[in-house]
Structure 1
Amino acid sequence: MRYQSICFTAPEQAELIESKIATSLNPDEVAGSTLYTLVSPGTELAGIYGGSHFPAQPGYAAVFRVESVGQAIGDIREGELRFCMGKHQSYQRVRAADTIPVPDGLAPQLVPFCRLMGVTMTTLQTTLARPPAQVLVTGLGPVGHLCAQVFAAYGYDVLAVDPVSDRRQWAIQAGLPRVLESVPHDDPSIARRIDLHIECSGHEGAALDGCKVVKKKGEIALVGAPWTQKANIQAHDFLREIFFNYVILRSGWEWELPHHSLDFRQGSIFTNFSEALRLLLASKVVVEGLYQQCDPSSCQSVYQDLLHRRANSLFQIFSWQSS
């Protein structure tokens, strides 16, 4: 069968193309038409759109309606809505084990948000900090914004920081009570009192800010990928803060957890996705008014607006229902 997909065909060039896929399923697979996919700007722009390997197909957050079920699958029915880490395309075909059901009552356009929520829910699983610990989140792009909401939903005392005024306003709109332009090193209620710093910008300066405000034995989880060097900071600046203040500086990359639950391991990627859907259903994490629905045929303008910071919304969703 033929389907449509977004393809990066050259540097900074996105096109909607037509592709073919076999209709016969493996016994452990399900397939169906895509309803929505969610853009992940950090990975898709820095990692692929501006990369060097083309053609490339972006995307890893999709909700689809099951239309075909493999012979070995007994607990999934046609017509169900499922989430998968699918690409920006009009049709999904995936192992059933790599999908999760959509809770009744949750609007389908909200489902893909669980993917970006899951990025920092790995840190939620691995941190030693427990509510009501003070948590600093730097970088309020899509991942950092959702991180701040998730940790607040679990009872952490969250301080959210971003130098971009629109991002701060979106955070305030979402109900986050403490949103600042910069990390207040000299505020006695913050300096050396932060239990956990979740760094979501990929900026060296933000990571160094965290080293200056976490308490002794406080954690810094580097979630934002360091795609490029952004500041001229000496390694000694980090070493001094880390050494004398017993800072635990570590990767916050989500893949520290297994995809699925394993014996003797705490947490998994897909367990976090399911929990994220529960938070969305309960309105513990709110994204209404923060996203824009886009037609896949406008993909080039969507990515150009994101690249040049012209986007009017924090999140961009592609709607595939007419594709």
Structure 2
Amino acid sequence: MTDVGTLEIEDRPVPAPGPYEVLVEVAAVGVCGSDVHYYRHGRIGDFVVEDPMILGHELSGRIAAVGERVDPTRVGQRVAVEPQHPCRRCKQCTAGRYNLCPYMEFYATPPIDGAFCRYVTIDAEFAHPVPDSMSDDAAALLEPLSVAITTMRKAGVEPGSSILIAGAGPIGVLCAQTARAFGASRIVVTDLLSSRREKALKFGATEVLDPTAVDVSAIEPVDAFVDATGVPAAVVSGIKAVGPAGHVVLVGMGADEYALPVSHIANLEITVTGVFRYTDTWPAAIHLVSSGAIDLDSMVTGRYDLEHVADALDSDTDPASLKSIVNPR
């Protein structure tokens, strides 16, 4: 990305792995909403693209080389990449919250380059081995699945729980699948588009609602609400649908500020929190996909090469699109 709405292909040297890093030949990269947002707007909140940057952070591949302190037998291993490099020394890292590291270097977050390219380097322990039964596409999509796993953990979802999810885009659908895998018995998904509501039913929702036709705030109260839209009206109505001691998790990117139903939150002792990436989710994600509890391959609706990344980024304008994959090889 060289400017807002502008992409160019460059030849660059293959990066050399550091002592504790591996070099990964990239096989598949999922297109994320953040990639699209940077491409169209040049920023997300305080993160501003000021210099040319490679987009893409949902990736899988094969280890092509290792640093001098890494087991050389890992060369050739298929891996899913956790695309972050925390400092490991700050208060957040030592407390186990490395996703909140103030010195984090995260793929495709300015000024760090991402993965729409042939080769990347990553800390060896963040290159997670995947079984041969898992496709490259599914291995790449363990990254957004990690967001859904973090969301379910924060939402307190357990067997028998009820949950409301606003939005049936990629994250909403992944949250529905993950809620089902975590044992939720009632999974309500809302979306404006009937085609997306139908997809949500195929991926774990027990019921779907059109928020323009139903007062979502008046449904039978749920134990948890997840917003995957960023739309203020959806957030407010979703919070009002949460029962006593419930949980609200804000995942969608939207307005920086908006009014919330504070009296409802306070009187029912509802916990409201956000999700910023993840910590220690890949082992769970690999298990959920390998066991068949979650289906990532069926979510892929388009594949593109490096010459057509712009088309991949614009694929979200098609209501039939759910998840697009870029194959750099």
TM-score interval (norm. to shorter)? 0.7 to 0.9
Q: Is the 8 A contact 1:170 1:314 kept in 2?
A: no
1:114 deviation in Å?
0.7
1:213 deviation in Å?
0.9
Q: 2:292 aligns with which of 254, 268, 283?
A: 283
Q: 1:298 aligns with which of 279, 285, 308?
A: 308
1:129 deviation in Å?
4.3
Q: Is the 8 A contact 1:15 1:300 kept in 2?
A: no
Q: Is the 8 A contact 1:200 1:223 kept in 2?
A: yes
Instruction: List aligned pairs for 1:57-206, cutoff 5 A.
Output: 57-74=54-71, 76-84=73-81, 85=83, 87-156=115-184, 157-182=186-211, 184-185=214-215, 190-191=219-220, 193-206=221-234
Which residue does 2:102 correspond to in 1? none
Tell me the TM-score normalised to structure 1 length: 0.81
Q: Provide the rounded CA distance (Å) in 1 between the counterparts of 2:168 and 2:234.
A: 12
Count residues with an aligned counterpart.
289
Q: 2:240 aligns with which of 189, 212, 221?
A: 212
Matched AA of 2:3:
A
* In the alignment, structure 1 residue 56 sits paired with structure 2 residue 53: yes
Matched AA of 1:151:
A
Which residue does 1:34 correspond to in 2? 26
Instruction: List aligned pairs for 1:196-275, cutoff 5 A.
Output: 196-227=224-255, 235=259, 238-255=261-278, 269=279, 271-275=280-284
Matched AA of 1:168:
R
Distance 1:67 1:186, change over 3 A: closer
Which residue does 1:11 correspond to in 2? 4
Distance 1:76 1:59, change over 3 A: farther
Q: Deviations over 1:243-281 (max 9, x none)?
A: 3443322223335xxxxxxxxxxxxx2x31221122122
Higher deviation after alignment, 89-98 or 70-79: 70-79
Q: Provide the rounded CA distance (Å) in 1 between the counterparts of 2:65 and 2:129.
A: 15
Higher deviation after alignment, 10-19 or 207-216: 10-19
Q: Provide the rounded CA distance (Å) in 2 between the counterparts of 1:303 and 1:287.
A: 19
Q: Deviations over 1:54-102 (max 9, x none)?
A: 4222111111111112221127521111111252211121110221101
Q: Is the 8 A contact 1:293 1:319 kept in 2?
A: yes
Distance 1:228 1:12, change over 3 A: farther
Q: Provide the rounded CA distance (Å) in 1 between the counterparts of 2:247 and 2:54.
A: 35
Q: Deviations over 1:179-217 (max 9, x none)?
A: 2222854797x43x2111011111111111112111022
Distance 1:186 1:303, change over 3 A: closer
Q: Is the 8 A contact 1:32 1:67 kept in 2?
A: yes
Q: Which runs of 4+ in 1 moved over 6 A?
A: none
Q: Provide the rounded CA distance (Å) in 1 between the counterparts of 2:65 and 2:318.
A: 40
Q: Deviations over 1:108-163 (max 9, x none)?
A: 22111110011131232333443211011111211111011011111112111111
Gaps of 5+ in 1: 1-7, 256-268
